[in-house]
Amino acid sequence: MTKPDHFRRRSALASAALAIALIGSAQASSAETQEDIVQSMGEAKSGCSQKEFNQFLDAFIASPAVRAKYTAPQVEQRGFGQPAKATGRSLPASAYQSFNLSHVDWQFADTASVARWQADPNKPYTALDVKFEDLPDGSFKFTYQPAILRDDDEGDGWTVERHIGKPAAYLFAWRSGCWQLTQDFR
């Protein structure tokens, strides 16, 4: 897996915002400050206006406030193996607590494992093998799977050694000029 081009094209402001988010996520952080919220909201809005999904997703991952704003009123849960079949669960945004992505050192990671790693650095976090799918209607499907990754030693990516968990995905639908998290596939 190589790093998507968006990492190479990231503006200085976006790189600084991501660095702040990574530093913040590597510490036992307290609540988001107003300054963090303003910065993350600006990054999300910029990602939307430029139709740069990866910039939007970075802000979505980093900020609970961005997630609250850009999560659809109802999040439909579907089976990963049968995406056309709804599981019968649709949660209001206020009750949806299943978003499970974090960033650690340019890697996507499982949020629960990152929390364990922050509490005890001897417990490794679980890295994720990811795939971005740009859909014809402007939506994005973000698929991820826990994996053992190794640095490819070329400075631009990671190689999957093996998958260690089940795949899952999120659908971000394009609505009213931005993306909204609308579906969770497990």
Is residue 171 within 8 Å of residue 139, measured between CB atoms?
A: yes
Residue-level pLDDT at 80: 86
Q: How far apart are CA 179 and CA 175, in angstroms?
A: 6
pLDDT confidence of 89, banded at 50, 70, 90?
confident
| pLDDT greater at residue 85 or residue 27 | 85
Residue 48 to residue 51: CA distance in whole angstroms: 5
Reply yes or no on whether the pLDDT at 69 is more than 90: yes
What does the pLDDT average to over 131-157? 87
Q: Which of 132, 131, 160 is nearest to 147 (CA)?
A: 160
Asked which of 68-72, 149-153, 166-170 is least confident by mean pLDDT, the reply is 149-153
Q: Is 152 or 54 the better-scoring residue by pLDDT?
A: 54
For the segment 1-33, what is each residue's pLDDT rounded down to a tens digit? 444 433 333 333 333 333 333 333 333 344 789
- The per-residue pLDDT of the chain, averaged, comes to 81
pTM: 0.77
Give the model confidence (pLDDT) of 107-127 as tens digits.
899 999 999 999 999 999 999
Q: Is the pLDDT of residue 76 over 60?
A: yes
Question: What residue ranges do the domains of the chain occupy?
Answer: 5-185
HSE, CB side, 13 Å, CA atoms: give it for residue 42. 11
Query: Strands, DSSP E only, in the chain?
Result: 71-78, 86-92, 101-104, 107-110, 127-134, 140-151, 158-163, 168-175, 178-185
Would you say residue 82 has pLDDT above 90?
A: no
The strand pairing partners of 108, in sequence order, are: 103
User: Which tens digits make up the pLDDT trace of 172-184?
Assistant: 999 999 999 999 9
